[in-house]
Amino acid sequence: MKVNLRDRITIKHKKIASLEDIIISYLSEDPKRTITNKVVRALSGEDDVNKVKKAFQKLRKLEKIVAVNEEASAFDFAYKIKSLTI
C-alpha cells in the first residue's frame, strides 16, 4: 500500500479542562459576563448539548452560577457567576 503524504487527517481537539472549569473561568474574567450553551461548546470543542447542560446544572446546584432570566427560551438561556455578597 502506497501512502500519499498529501492526504490529510483532521483530529478534533478538545481542551483538557472540564466544562465546569471552562464555564467558571470564562465568567470569572468579567463579573458582568454571561455564558450560553453555545458559547461553552465553542470554547470547549464539546458537541454534546446535553453534556454542557449537565455542567450548567451541576454549577447551579453548587450555587456557583445563576440563570440570567428564568423565563428565557431554551435557545436564549444564559448564566452568570453568582455574586459574592457578605
Q: Which of 4, 7, 37 is nearest to 22 (CA)?
A: 37
- The C-alpha atoms of residue 86 and residue 80 are separated, in whole angstroms, by 18
Provide the residue range defining the domain that includes 24.
19-81
Percent of the chain as helix, strand, coil, to the nearest 5: 35, 10, 55
pLDDT tens-place string over residues 14-68 = 566 799 999 999 999 998 999 999 999 999 999 999 999 999 999 999 999 999 9
Q: Is the pLDDT of residue 86 over 50?
A: no
- 31 in a structural domain: yes
Residue 6 lies in a domain: no
Q: Confirm whether 41 is domain-assigned.
A: yes
Does 76 fall in a domain? yes
How many structural domains are present in the chain? Answer: 1
In a domain, 7, yes or no: no
The CATH number of the domain where 42 resides is what? 1.10.10.10
Q: Are 37 and 56 in contact (CB under 8 A)?
A: yes
Cell numbers 466544562 correspond to: 19
- The pLDDT of residue 10 is above 70: no
For residue 3, is it within any domain? no
pLDDT of residue 53: 94
